[in-house]
Amino acid sequence: MTARSGITHLDELIFDNRFVHELPGDQELSNTRRQVEGACYSRVSPTPVAAPKLVAYSREVAELLDLEAEVFESADFTQVFSGNRLSAGMEPYAMCYGGHQFGNWAGQLGDGRAINLGEVINRQGQRWVLQLKGAGLTPYSRTADGLAVLRSSVREFLCSEAMHHLGVPTTRALSLITTGEQVLRDMFYNGNSKLEPGAVVCRVAPSFTRFGNFQILAARGNVDLLKKLVDYTIRTDFPHLGEPSPTVYLSWFEEVCRRTAQMIVHWQRVGFVHGVMNTDNMSILGLTIDYGPYGWLENYDPGWTPNTTDANGRRYRFGNQPQIAFWNLGQLANAIYSLVGSPEPLQQAMNSYVLAFEQGWQAMMTGKLGLDEFDAKTDDQLIDELQTLLRDVETDMTIFYRRLALVEMNAELADEVLMAPLLAAFYVQEQLTEQYKTRLGNWIRQYIKRAQCNETTDENRRQRMNATNPKYVLRNYLAQLAIDQAEQGDYSLVNELLEVLRRPYDEQPDNEKYAEKRPDWARQRAGCSMLSCSS
């Protein structure tokens, strides 16, 4: 007899919807765009769509929600997760938040096109908020349309799941559904608008609260409500910290600092550039949130950002992400200052970010290099020189680190032999001058010497490296190929990439083609190396 205890109909999901039951909501119930004061959210229903069609779903997220596979085959699933029907227990709402955009306070932003359907409690007692992105207008839509296009929804769906399987804290994605409607978008804000297929992604996370949810209340001087939201967050998402009090506020903030640091260390490890680290895009749980104009480093360039909207200042470039997270935490500290009463303990708490980042970064780098532990005497210099080498010629970061594990650990070998496994990582062979090869050879010898100080076996070193340095990431051009096909109605590559990216650290002999360098055609193609906030 097979035990079948999963959910086979969406009306069986159990919602507790604590957020709307415990926190004050907007008194105004009409769906008109406005400033929403004295509330953490507004109740609003998704806008129905014409002809929803399921493109893909994540079976791991289905499992989190105890959903059986047959649920996804039903037309009802597509109806519910496109916003056409509310299943039993759903109480939809959009959250009110503000934020600093590109360093400037932007006032009220809020869920302009995201609608939370409610909070599911699964069989293990875990809380999972279901959220539709691209589900229509809300009071926070400002001048925009509340919709999302297929292009950006494929990117959000695939990257959320890829990041999870890479071990990076992230919001998840349950499903990707096309709406059967067309949406007008000016992809590069240059007057070239075109109609694109509309889509809705169902995102899933324990909470979608952002730094900006606290900031907007502080900016409006609503200390009572700020305290309510902080207390709610601590009780719901940080229960291990104990009952809220000024001391607990500090330990909460410290934990947010530490979690944020860990998230950023992971981004730097896998070469992920978020692209829009505004404070409204910073999760209070330290999850990667809001996949917009993000990108993956191909050639290692700390100055790179995929976001053309940020082309001038490059505020959110790869190498600047750790500093920006610190700055953003400073804004959160400002927002909760009134609850703590004095600035010093908050400043001290921010040191826990610096410390957690530094320790995390060192541990991460030792993992990437397969060293037993970080030794500042040798490793700062070893890593500095490596980063200079990676920057000096166009070097694919992912391939280089992955293949470093293949280098023979014998310093007696000739340069050519030592660096042979790494050649696949270089984009322009002519850049490999004799002088460069000598430097690289010297570095490899230095690395071999350092790795020989390990107490673990060489096999362990390689395993450790392969568990830290992914083979498969969602290369920008791969996402674009999947989008090109999806826009023609062919969803097979979306699903194939979803499958490959479930095991990013495994060798997958049949899927080698997805681990290759960016092809030349993708170097300057829109969507591959250049993206904007238009989505």
Kindly state the number of chain residues that form the binding site for ligand AMP, as judged by CB under 6 A.
17
> Least distance to ligand AMP from the beta carbon of 36, Å?
12
Does 533 help bind ligand AMP (rule: CB under 6 A)?
A: yes
Rounded to a whole number of angstroms, the minimum distance from the CB of residue 402 to Mg ion is 32
Residue number with CB closer to Mg ion (283 or 468): 283
One DSSP character per residue, 89-147 reads T---EEE--EEEETTEEEEE---SSEEEEEEEE-TTS-EEEEEEES----TT-TTS-S-
Range in contact with Mg ion (rule: CB under 5 A) among 167-175, 222-230, 273-281, 396-404? 273-281
CA pair distance 465, 404, nearest whole angstrom: 8
The answer to the question of residue 276 lying near ligand AMP (CB under 6 A) is: yes
- Three-state DSSP class for 347? helix
Query: Read out DSSP for 133-200?
Result: ES----TT-TTS-S--BHHHHHHHHHHHHHHHHHT--B-EEEEEEEEEEEEEEETTSSS-EEEEEEEE
Q: Which residues pair with 307 in a beta bridge?
A: 531
Q: Are 457 and 409 in contact (CB under 8 A)?
A: no
Stretch touching ligand AMP by CB under 6 A, among 62-70, 71-79, 117-125, 276-284? 276-284
Chosen residue from 292, 360, 370, 504 binding ligand AMP by CB under 6 A: 292
Tokens of 186: 């000016």
Nearer to Mg ion by C-beta: 139 or 370? 139
Give the nearest distance from C-beta 183 to ligand AMP in angstroms: 8
Among 146, 198, 244, 295, binds ligand AMP (CB under 6 A): 146
> In angstroms, what is the minimal distance from the CB of 137 to ligand AMP?
7
Helix, strand, coil in percent for the chain, rounding step 5: 45, 15, 40
SS3 call for 324 = helix
Closest CB 107 distance from ligand AMP, rounded Å = 11
379 as an active site residue: the answer is no
User: Binding partner of residue 49 among ligand AMP, Mg ion, none, CB under 5 to 8 Å per kind?
Assistant: none
153/175 with CB nearer ligand AMP: 153
Which one of residues 290, 298, 310, 396 is an interface residue with Mg ion (CB under 5 A)?
290
Q: 145 touches which of ligand AMP, Mg ion, none (CB within 5 to 8 A by kind)?
A: ligand AMP
Cβ closest to Mg ion, residue 152 vs residue 281? 281
- φ, ψ of residue 115 to 5 degrees: the values are -130, 120
Residue nearest to ligand AMP (CB): 112
Minimal distance, residue 505 CB to Mg ion, in Å: 30
CB 390 within 8 A of CB 415: no
Kindly name the residue from 280, 290, 310, 396 that is annotated as catalytic.
Answer: 280
Residue 290 engages ligand AMP in binding (rule: CB under 6 A): yes
**Are 152 and 292 within 8 A, CB to CB?**
yes
- Whole-angstrom Cα distance, residue 317 to residue 306? 8
Binding mask 255-274 for ligand AMP (x = CB under 6 A): --------------------
Is 147 near ligand AMP (CB under 6 A)? Answer: yes
Q: Single out the segment in contact with ligand AMP by CB under 6 A; choices: 144-152, 377-385, 407-415, 492-500.
A: 144-152
Both structure tokens of 245: 């009090």
Shortest reach from residue 272's CB to Mg ion, in Å: 16
Nearer to ligand AMP, 77 or 140 (CB): 140
- C-alpha 305/C-alpha 276 separation (Å) is 10
**Comparison of 289 and 486: residue with beta carbon closer to ligand AMP:** 289
- Judge contact between 124 and 449, C-beta under 8 A: no
Choice between 145 and 375, CB closer to ligand AMP: 145
List all residues 6 or more positions away from 360 whose beta carbon is below 8 Å from its beta carbon.
261, 262, 265
Using CB atoms within 10 Å of the CB of residue 32, give its burial: 0 to 12 exposed, 13 to 18 middle, 19+ buried: exposed
141 lies in the site for Mg ion, by CB under 5 A? no
Site for ligand AMP in 100-139 (CB under 6 A): 109-113
Query: Angle, nearest 10°, between helix axes 343-369 and 321-340?
Result: 150
Nearer to ligand AMP, 212 or 286 (CB): 212
CA distance 459 to 461: 5
Binding of Mg ion by 281 (CB under 5 A):
yes
Asked if 362 and 264 count as a contact pair (C-beta separation under 8 A), the reply is no
Least CB distance to ligand AMP at residue 67 (A): 27
92 contributes a contact to ligand AMP by CB under 6 A: no
Residues in contact with Mg ion by CB under 5 A are: 281, 290
Residues in contact with ligand AMP by CB under 6 A are: 109-113, 140-141, 144-147, 276, 280-281, 290, 292, 533
The residues that are catalytic are 280
